[in-house]
A and B are shown apart, each in its own frame.
Chain A
Amino acid sequence: MSRQIELFIDGQTKVIDADPDMPLLYALRDNLGMQEPKFGCGLAQCGACTVLINGEPVRSCSMPVASVGRAKVTTLSGLTTEKNMHKVQAAFIEEKVPQCGYCINGWVLSAVALLNQNPHPTDEQIRDALTGLKCRCGTHLSIIRAIKRAALA
């Protein structure tokens, strides 16, 4: 049942031996020992496990690893490189968004996707685009401020 699966993550090719039905999240965290994304619910309800797949936010807890194929997976840790600080992360730092920080994958990566499609969203559009993501600490207002800041950067 388990087989070799090749993944393209944050610009690197990785090969793992895994059950093809296993969610991508477990491949990233357990097989590859990555710190991000995080497990939040396993039900695609919260967004803590979000990664970008070809630029689109996807809940990795509910995506079978074998279905990723040759798509490019980008994680929170892979957004900023040694040479280039991602503007969304820079804005989240400036606005001091996280408290516990467990939800941060979903908000940052969904904001990246939003600004790619709509570089200058209104408050309303930001709220619509991010609806469904959870933050138990209640940092939502700072998230909206950060996305508006990133849009100006």
Chain B
Amino acid sequence: MKIEMNRRQFMIGSGSLVVSVLLPGLSKQAIASSSTMDGSRADLGPDQLSSYISVQEDGRVIGWIGKVDMAQGTEIGWIKIIAEELDVSPDAVSIVQGNTDQTVDQGGASGSTGIWKGGAAFRGAAAEARYTLLNMAAQKLAVKPERLVVNEGIVSVLDDQTKSVTYSQLIGGRQFNVQLEWNKEYGNELAVKGVGKPKSPAQYKIIGKPGVQRRDIVAKVLGRTPNNTVDVKVPGMLHGRVIRPNVAGSAPVSIDKDSVSHIPSVQIVWQKDFIGVVAPREWDAVRAARELKIIWSDVKPPFPDQKNLYDHIRAAKVTKRDEEVKVGDIDLAFSAAANILEAEYEWPFHSHTSMAPACTVADIRDQEAYLWIGGQKPHHCREGIAAMFNLDEHKVVVKSLVGPGSYGRNDSGDVSMDAAVLSKAVGKPVRVQAMRHEATGWDPKSPASVHRARAAIDKTGKVIGWDFSTKGFSRREFFRDEGSPERTLAGQLLGWPLKPVWLLGVPSESYSFEAKRKTSDTIGPLLDRASPLRTSHFRDPGGPQIHFASESFMDELAVATNMDAVEFRLRYLKHPQDLEVVKTVAMKASWIKHIGARKQRRDDVLVGQGIAYAVRGATRVAVVADVEVNVATHRIWVRKVFVAHDCGQVIAPDLIRPVIEAQVVQTISRAVYEEVKFDRNNVTSIDWAGYPIIDIKDVPELIDITLIDHPELPPAGAAEATCRVIPAAIANAIFDATGVRLRQAPLTTQKLKIALGV
């Protein structure tokens, strides 16, 4: 097929080459991570070993995975798992990730499951590949498989090393014809295993040790990344931009084509409520989107005044209550209480506001679709595109390239659909990169919420009941992926009605209060179509807001029961891994036992320490924040952060550390600086000035990370759990420094000054 060949041949940066560069001052480093293997593998099912592992003619091993490493080093984790099981050098392993015509649907980047679930699939598949290869070698060398050893892909007889055969000789360039036991699930839950048993941790040579470097770093620093979405160019490609209304919910009524007639070769695409422009030159598309005169429909302002947001949440009708978590008899506990403590916490909408507005190149022609995306979930993108244009899913190919940092549901899914609609309309490939006001103003938001915590305390000061409730917008009002047209702005503008999933969440912990009740209520959207305040996933969805409330409240309970905040947690926590992270972080932070706010002054600052702990899946984390509050300006500076982190088996300690460090910085940003602003018509925080994030002047001087390795446990996720403990640790430290309890995020200087009456 000619078009398909053109699409392959002319594309810049398809990620189809391993590029090695020799640069002055550096050893030879691979700067791209994809393989030389091209071509569709769509005929391979999820139960086939070859869907996950293949050996090339030169002996190089390829791992194929339907997940995506969002620049967290996950790829290296996969490489180490495969290299470990197969006894090959990590340098001999490459990963192909995400491409829908080459990998099985494993859910893309989602919920820190890259290593936890994706790594588990690789471990099972690689163990089976080794088992298969050893049996093949045994036959060839006429010995029992038990007598064979493997070193760097060479299988030899234990007591006669002259007898050997390589993986390449056994299977190089051919597919395994081996079936795995598959749990019949797709997405994150996909699991496979074979007859071959994975190694026991005692046999590990690669897992848990540092030293295998990320392969994208050199190219990114030198400006030579071969597979960036924004750099994709295909023949005949045009540039598109979509135009959003000033009042959310309004639609184009009429347009003045003459307003852009001075711009060369502009085409206007207007379908139902969707309107965009396409032009051969990017700058012309940008200008046309700015200059096209549109009359928009008159609609009622869709939003409440921002100052009434939390009252709106409190008063709103509940659409769904999640299943309650109940321990003991909560009503009895409160009726028996000598003392009841109660507090309420509030958390605003946050914007993903990725470093670059999302970019997609889409080519929708002849009942086929090709998309090059920088998003997290290429297989879901495929589903959405196939449904929108009524295409056979196998005729939709989504290539997964490098995009800006994304931590759940950023604007990528919307832009992919925008580009697809424009491409279909003009019959040419179209590249869309959103503008900043769309990426910040119109990306999916993380939900605003209100949390109410109550505790029953008996006359001895023991907490006998804890009642925690969350109420807010759904974390999946706009779903978590673009797997159906109504989960995109373009889909909704073209008439697909919103189908929310009602879900928010409750704290995740192991406090052993005799009675507990945890409830979570979701409320309906403020605008049910193409809303700039539609809510979805943003790193650790629901986690930061819920645990800001629950772990601030634990601090308040410690004070109310006359206990030190660390001792309080150690008294009530029961899981040994929970106790270990709390004890470890207290020791690392040189925690000094105290009750209540110390308000200690050092030179011109008040200093305070705060602790918080939580669980996420099988990952447990405790942090201590050292915060300074300037006595003159009341600037809040999180000066030091100590983290004790237990994610089970550690695969790559040197790569987990930067992931945690950056998570700490990003979550300080959310907790102290970030809040989506809106008026009754629309979101008004639409750029970096309106939606400030943390500045380098305000980042901590130290982030101290202790990894607690449990090689005997499965590896759990490391890219989200720390997000949920940072906000409360800061609030608790501000309390220690000033005596002020800030119960509404962001934890700003302005709020602190109001509370202090200065």
Taking Cβ atoms with an 8 Å cutoff, the residues of A that contact B are 18-19, 22-23, 26, 29-30, 33, 35-36, 38-43, 45-46, 48, 75-77, 79-80, 82-85, 89-90, 92-93, 96-105, 108, 123, 126-128, 130-144
Contacts and interface: CB of A to CB of B under 8 A. Distances in A.
Interface stretch (B55-63, B87-95, B315-323, B693-701): B693-701
Contacts of B754: none
Nearest to A40: B356
B436 A41 contact: yes
Secondary structure call for the B interface? loop
B220 interface: yes
Nearest to A42: B436
A96 to B, nearest CB: 5
A42 B435 contact: yes
Nearest to A82: B24
Given A35-B225, A96-B213, A103-B355, A41 B688 contact: yes
B480 interface: no
A127 B694 CA distance: 12
Contacts of B701: 123
B661 A29 contact: no
Interface in B33-70: 70
B32 to A, nearest CB: 13
A27 B382 CA distance: 33
A76 B436 contact: no
B233 interface: yes
B433 A39 contact: yes
Given A40-B436, A48-B355, A102-B405, A85 B25 contact: yes
A138 B695 CA distance: 10
B543 interface: no
A134 to B, nearest CB: 6
Between B214, B353, B665, the greatest number of chain A beta carbons within 10 A of the residue's beta carbon is seen for B665
Given A90-B25, A93-B217, A139-B658, A43 B224 contact: no
Contact of A85 (B23, B356, B435, B700): B23
B355 A134 contact: yes
Interface in B201-237: 213-214, 216-218, 220-225, 228, 230-231, 233
A19 B283 contact: yes
The 7 A-B pairs at the shortest CB distance, nearest first, are namely: A138-B665, A101-B220, A77-B223, A76-B223, A138-B662, A100-B405, A36-B223
B282 A29 contact: yes
Contacts of B267: none
A79 to B, nearest CB: 8
Between B239, B286, B688, B689, the greatest number of chain A beta carbons within 10 A of the residue's beta carbon is seen for B688
Given A99-B405, A108-B221, A38 B661 contact: no
Contacts of A93: 26, 217-218, 221
Contact of A22 (B26, B283, B355): B283
A96 B26 CA distance: 13
Given A40-B356, A43-B687, A141-B700, A100 B70 contact: yes
B224 A77 contact: yes
A46 B355 contact: yes
Given A19-B283, A93-B217, A76 B222 contact: yes
A137 B355 contact: yes
Contacts of B72: 99
B404 interface: yes
B696 A102 contact: no
B354 interface: yes
B281 interface: yes
Contacts of A40: 355-357, 436
A73 to B, nearest CB: 13
Given A76-B222, A103-B355, A104-B221, A45 B664 contact: no
A86 B313 CA distance: 54
Nearest to B667: A138
B749 interface: no
Interface string B446-465: 00000000000000000000
Between B357, B663, B696, the greatest number of chain A beta carbons within 10 A of the residue's beta carbon is seen for B696
B697 A100 contact: no
Interface of B: 23-26, 70-72, 213-214, 216-218, 220-225, 228, 230-231, 233, 239, 281-283, 286, 353-357, 402-406, 433, 435-436, 658, 661-666, 669, 687-689, 693-697, 699-701, 703
A21 B230 CA distance: 23
Given A100-B70, A104-B223, A141-B700, 4 more contacts: A29-B282, A45-B688, A99-B662, A141-B703
A104 B664 contact: no
A145 to B, nearest CB: 10
B71 A136 contact: no
B221 A26 contact: no
A22 B221 CA distance: 27
Contacts of A144: 696, 699
Contacts of B239: 30
Contacts of A23: 283
Nearest to A90: B25
Secondary structure call for the A interface? loop
Contact of B220 (A79, A104, A135): A104
Nearest to B664: A138
A127 B405 contact: no
Contact of B687 (A45, A77, A92, A142): A45
Nearest to A103: B355
Nearest to A29: B282
Between A41, A43, A108, the greatest number of chain B beta carbons within 10 A of the residue's beta carbon is seen for A41
B696 A136 contact: no
Given A30-B282, A99-B71, A138-B665, A35 B223 contact: yes
Contacts of A42: 286, 435-436
A30 B284 CA distance: 11
A96 B217 contact: yes
A102 B356 contact: yes
A90 B405 contact: no
Contact of B666 (A29, A33, A136): A136
Given A35-B223, A93-B217, A138-B665, A102 B687 contact: no
25 contacts: A29-B282, A30-B281, A35-B231, A40-B357, A43-B687, A45-B687, A84-B24, A89-B221, A93-B218, A98-B220, A99-B71, A99-B405, A99-B658, A104-B220, A126-B696, A130-B696, A133-B696, A134-B693, A138-B662, A138-B665, A138-B666, A138-B669, A138-B694, A138-B699, A144-B696
Nearest to A135: B355
Given A22-B283, A141-B703, A97 B71 contact: no
Contacts of A89: 221-222
Contacts of B233: 33
Given A96-B214, A101-B216, A104-B221, A132 B695 contact: yes
Given A36-B223, A102-B405, A140-B696, A45 B71 contact: no
A102 B355 contact: yes
B404 A102 contact: yes
Contacts of A46: 355, 688
A135 to B, nearest CB: 7
A76 B222 CA distance: 6
Given A85-B26, A123-B701, A138 B663 contact: yes
A40 B662 CA distance: 20
Contacts of B70: 100
Given A98-B221, A100-B403, A38 B694 contact: no
Contacts of A90: 25-26
A51 to B, nearest CB: 11
A134 B688 CA distance: 9
A92 B218 CA distance: 9
Contacts of B71: 98-101, 137
Contacts of A99: 71-72, 405, 658, 662
Contact of A137 (B217, B282, B283, B405): B405
A28 B129 CA distance: 47
A151 B668 CA distance: 28
